[in-house]
Amino acid sequence: MRFPALPGPRSLAGQLFAMQAVLIAVVVAGYALFTYVSDERQAEDAAVRQVTAVARSIADAPSVRSAIHTPDPTAELEPYALQVIRDADVDFVTIMDPRGIRWTHPDREQIGRPFLGRIAPARQGHTFTETYTGTLGASVRAVTPVKENGRVIGLVSAGIRVEAISARVQDQVTTLLLFAGGTLLLGAVGTYVTNARLRRHTHGMNATELSRVYDYHQAALHAVREGLLMLDGQYRVALINDGGRELLGVGGEDDVVGRSVAGLGLPAPLTGALLSSEPRVDEVHLTASRVLVVNTSPVSGGERRGTVVTLRDVTELRSLMGELDSERGFTQALRSQAHEAANRLHTVVSLIELGRAPEAVEFATAELELAQALTDQVVAAVSEPVLAALLLGKTAQANERGVELIVSPDSRLDDGLLPAGLSARDLVTVLGNLIDNAVDAAQGSVGARVTVTACASAAELVLRVSDTGPGVDPAHVGLVFQAGFSTKPARPGGRGLGLALVRQAVTRLGGTLTVDAGEEGGAVFEARLPLRTTGVPAPVPGGGA
């Protein structure tokens, strides 16, 4: 026959409450049992001491010895014995002759009869105690001799019934049980309150559900490619997933958890964003090798409990956006050149219609020679195809903005010279952003001009861009390469990322990037990239992003 299973508490809090209630009940019951046994033993010992003291007091009383020598000892001893019973709180006092014949007894019918129990040790002059069942029932009694001149002239026995001793213990046990019940009730209330709070924290889930949620949490934490970082109220790392460690370039989880964000060695702007108490939405920050989009959100719950940080790697996206911007610039330049070409074509057609064919040929040939001369100049100096295309496109863009872009005569970069570790994308990032920054600075200045130098030796590639703009304030030299810093007016999407990307790429390639004042005013940015050790990451200098 199968018995139906008893329903158990589903929630973890309920299970803990039941377990704690049972534990408290067992502890209280065990303590009560121990106390009962201990109190019973103590009550018996106290009764033995009490009856012994009463018996000896009676035996030592001179009036008792005097009454023994009278013709009728009972007449004097019986009232005395009853008075002692009342005053000493004992159940009986029996005074007898040395043979054990009673002179006194609570039951007068027992007077003159032999004493029930041992008396031999007392007749030999010794006091002893025993538990014996006599005429009044089971009792704890003491028997002691009455001596005179060393001779036993009588015996005294005092006793307390076992029932009376048990009644005393029961009173103590009743008090104990009341105290134990109060303790159990108090413990149950405390356990209920504690587990009610626990139930709120666990949302009423049982242990199995919590285990399942934890398994899902761990699986999701390691499966998400985006970085996830959780900080506690003191801005210490409470949790970080695999993606977060990879994107931030920090050690394993055991090395990071518990450490302050300020001690992770992250770039200063990124550290400031993580330490901010205000939420951050889609902020772009740079590390040594990545462009990250950072979002922070405080953990709700009344007081500040921590911050949840998500990290997305947009390094490739930013690189593609840079290339797209370059292509967009090329397209605008081609559109402008197509417009100019149409004007020139109309001019040639009009000259032919007017019968001025020689002038038309001369005009068209001059335009062609000018374009070809520009192309020949760039290709002759920089035959590396990616950089040559970049310079031609940037030249057209700069011309549209009223800035002359010149390739320095010192430039010399042959095709096939660059190693495989120096990718075309990195070169476009470095040189393209430097030229864009220089064109922005030179635009509107007198004789606006940007000079580009690209040359290579056996050991390094040098990319130098100078402009005729206002230059860089010496106080801002250490800030121009930080993400978000710009002296130009703000625009949608923000500014100050181009030079930061340049610095990131140069640092990743193991090179150096400097800025100085130009001889004719303006600024000179110079990037030096090693050709033999490209691709070896270098640490980010302090203060950069």
Nearest to 21 by CA among 177, 176, 185: 185
Phi and psi, residue 531, nearest 5° = -95, -15
SS3 77: helix
The pLDDT value given to residue 153: 87
If phi > 0 it is left, if psi is from -120 to 50 it is alpha, else beta; for residue 84 that is alpha
User: Which residues of 253-377 form beta strands (DSSP E)?
Assistant: 280-286, 291-298, 306-313
Cβ density class 173-189: b for 16+ within 10 Å, e for less = beebeeebeeebeebee
SS3 518: coil
Q: Supply the pTM of this predicted model.
A: 0.46
What is the rounded distance in angstroms from the CA atom of residue 429 to the CA atom of residue 508?
A: 12
SS3 421: coil
Q: Are 43 and 168 in contact (CB under 8 A)?
A: yes
What's the CA angle centered on 88, arms 85 and 89, to 5 degrees?
75
The pLDDT value given to residue 65: 86
Mode of pairing for the β-strands spanning 523-530 and 460-467: antiparallel
Give per-residue pLDDT as tens, 260-309.
888 777 877 788 888 887 788 877 777 766 778 888 888 765 556 788 88
> How many C-beta atoms lie closer than 10 Å to residue 399's C-beta?
15
- What is the residue whose two structure tokens read 């109220």? 233
The pLDDT value given to residue 419: 73
What's the CA angle centered on 346, arms 343 and 347, to 5 degrees?
85
Give every residue of the chain whose pLDDT is below 70, as ranges: 1-17, 39-40, 164-169, 172-173, 206-207, 251-254, 288-289, 300-304, 315-341, 364, 366-381, 383, 415-417, 420-421, 474-497, 532-545
The DSSP string of 114-163 is BPSS--HHHHTT--EEEEEEETTEEEEEEEEEEEETTEEEEEEEEEEEHH
